[in-house]
Structure 1
Amino acid sequence: MGLGELGSPMAANLLDSGYDLTVYNRTPSKAEPLVKRGAQLASDPLEVAAKGGVVVSLLWDSDTTESVVTPEFLARMEGGVHVCMCTGSPEAAKRLARLHEEHGSAYVEAPIFGRPEAAKARQLAISYVGSQVAKDRVKPLLTAMGAHALFDMGEQPGIPTVLKQLGNFLIFSAASSLKEGLGIAESAGLDPTAAINMLTATLFPAPIYRDYGKAVAEKKHVDASPIPAKDLGLFRQLAVEHGQPNPITLMLLQLMSPSNQ
C-alpha cells in the first residue's frame, strides 16, 4: 500500500526478486507500471490484506495508516504480518502494534532511511521492531525491497520511529547548513566543489554531506517537498511531549516556512 517515490521502486524490487504482489495506491495510475510487470491491482486497501499474508504499507503518516487499519482489515489479517514503513508518531506505532496483537496478527515497525535512487540501487537502511517470529518472517522481504543494512531494535513499538525522526532532524540540519555555508563561502571566492571534495574526504565523510553538498555546489535543483516540514513537526511534537528544549527544530521549521522559501 502506497506507491510514491519510495514505494514504487521498492515494489518493483519485490517483483524482481520473484514475489507475488498485490498493490494498492490512492491514485491507481501509479500502479500501472507494476501491473504491466505482473502485480495484481487492488481497488481498496482491504484487498491487500489476506489471512496469514504480509502487508507492507508506506503511506504519508500515522493518521493515514490508522485510517486503513479498520476492524475489517484486522479481521482479514489474522495470522499475518503488517510491515509499516511510514514516518509517523511513536504513540501511533504503539496503538497499531496493540491492535494487531488483539486481532491475532503481528505488526512490524520499519521506517526507511534512503532516497528513491537508494531504493532502486538496493541501498536502503531500515531499523525495525516486532515479535521475533514476525521479524524473522519479514527480514528476507525487507532485503528484497532494497535494504542493504538492517538494524534489529528489539520489540518495543515506537523506537524505530523515534530513530527515524532523529535521523531526519540531523539530515535537515546538515542540508540547511550546507546550503547556507557553501553560499557564503562561494561568495567569498571559494570553489564550492573543491570545498565539498576536501571536506567529505576528511572531516565529513557522510552521504548527506557528500551527496547534498555536491548537488548544492553544482547548482543542481533540489525539489521542494512538504516532507521536511512534516517530519520536523513530528520531532517538535516529540520534544514537547517529553519536555525537551528544541530551538534548532523551531529554527528549521521557520526556515522551511513558505515565506522563507
Structure 2
Amino acid sequence: MKIGFIGLGAIGTPMAQNLVAADFDVTVWNRSADKCAPLVEAGATQADTPAGCAACDVMITMLADDDALASVVAEHGLIEAMGDDTVHVNMATVSVACARDMADRHEKAGKTYISAPVLGRPDIAKAAKLNIVTAGADAAIERARPALDTMGAKVWPAGSEPYRANVIKLATNYMLMTAVETMGEAAAMTAKYGIEPGDFLDIITHSVFAAPAYQGYAPAMAKRDYDNPEGFKLKLGAKDMDLALAAARAENMAMPVGAAVRERLSEALAAGEGELDLSALAEVSRRHGHLD
C-alpha cells in the first residue's frame, strides 16, 4: 500500500514513523522540510510538494488547523492531484465547517474523503495506541483500514458524514480541557490547606479519577513542570475549545462550563504560557489562590 503523509508535527511524526516501520511505501511532506529527514533515513520518500503525496492509495493529512489544511489544498491543487482511487484521510482536528467544506470539495471533484481524527497524546501515537474516530463511506474507511490499524489501537466508526468524526473529536477535547481545569482548581484548593499537590493528585488519579485524561496531566501538575515538547500545547487547547464552542453555537447549544474554561485558557495565554503543556492551566488557579 502506498501512503502519502502530509504534516509532521508532534503527533504526525510518530504516526508516520509507525507506518514506515510497518513497511508501507510512505511518501512524506512537511512545510519545515528538515522534519522529513528522520523518516527518510528510516525508509520514507520525501516529496517536493504536497501534491507529491497524492498519487497513492491513502493520502493522510495531519495539519495544524483549518487554515493550514485549506492553504495546502488550495495552493498545491491537492484534490486535483489525487488519483481516482486515492482516499484522502484527514486526521487533524478541524472545525465542523472545515470538515463539511472538505467533503463537499472532494465530492464535486469526484474524489474520496473521510475524517479520522485521533484521540491521544504524542506518547500514545508513538506507541501506536491512538483511538481513531472515522466517518465517511464504509468502503473508503476499509481501504484505509490497514494504515489506521497500524497507527491506532482501535478504530471507532461514527457514520457516513465525515464531519461527524470531527464533532466527536471536538467534544472529546472539550471534556479533556474541562477535566484539566477542574483538576487544577481542586489541587489549588487542597494546597491552601497545606496538602502537597502531588499527594492529592496521586490519590485521585489512582482512585475516583483513575483515567488517562487525569493520569496524563497530573504528574506535570504535581511537579509544576510544564515544558514538555511532546505534550499537548495549551495554545492548541484554546484553539480546540474555540472550535467546540463554535460548533455548539451553530446549533444554539449552551456550554457554560466551556465558556468558563475558555476564560482560564485566555488568562494562561496572556501570561505567556501558550507553548507549555495543557497542564499549565493549573497555574491559573494557583495564581487566583495566591499560591507560590
TM-score band w.r.t. shorter chain: over 0.9
Partner of 2:60: 56
Give the unaligned 5+ runs of structure 2.
Answer: 1-5, 274-292
1:108-123 alignment to 2 at 5 Å?
A: 108-123=114-129
| Alignment partner, residue 219 of structure 2 | 214
One-letter code aligned to 1:126: I
Tell whether 2:241 aligns with 1:232.
Answer: yes
**1:65 aligned residue (36, 59, 69):** 69
Unaligned runs of 5+ in 1: none
- Match of residue 187, structure 2, among 182, 188, 196: 182
> Residue type of the partner of 1:54?
V
Which string of whole-angstrom CA distances, capped at 9 and with x for unpartnered residues, describes residues 69-112 of structure 1? 24842232122100001111112212212222232321110111
Greater displacement, 110-119 / 231-240:
231-240
2:277 match: none
Judge conservation of contact 2:234–2:265 (CA < 8 Å) in 1: no
Greater displacement, 189-198 / 209-218? 189-198
1:248 equivalenced with 2:257 (yes/no): yes
Over aligned residue pairs, what C-alpha RMSD do you find?
1.8
Aligned length: 259
Q: TM-score, normalised by structure 1?
A: 0.92
**Deviations for 1:227-258, whole angstroms, at most 9, x for unmatched residues?**
01111111121122111223222222221123
Q: Is the 8 A contact 1:83 1:108 kept in 2?
A: yes
SS at match of 1:88: coil
What is the TM-score when the length of structure 2 is the normalising length?
0.83
Amino acid aligned to 2:87:
V
The amino acid of 2:70's aligned partner reads: E
Q: Which amino acid aligns with 1:41?
A: Q
For each residue in 1:138-194, what CA deviation from the matched residue of structure 2 results, as whole angstroms up to 9, or x when unmatched? 11101212x102101121121111111111111111111112211221231224333
Contact 1:79 1:104 in 2 (8 A): no
Q: Is residue 2:52 matched to residue 1:41?
A: no
Kept in 2: contact 1:90–1:157 (CA 8 A): no
Q: Percent identity?
A: 32
Q: Is residue 134–residue 162 contact of structure 2 (8 Å, CA) maintained in 1?
A: no
- The answer to whether the Cα contact below 8 Å between 1:113 and 1:125 also exists between their aligned partners in 2 is yes
Q: Is the 8 A contact 1:24 1:44 kept in 2?
A: yes
Alignment of 1:13-52 (within 5 A): 13-50=18-55
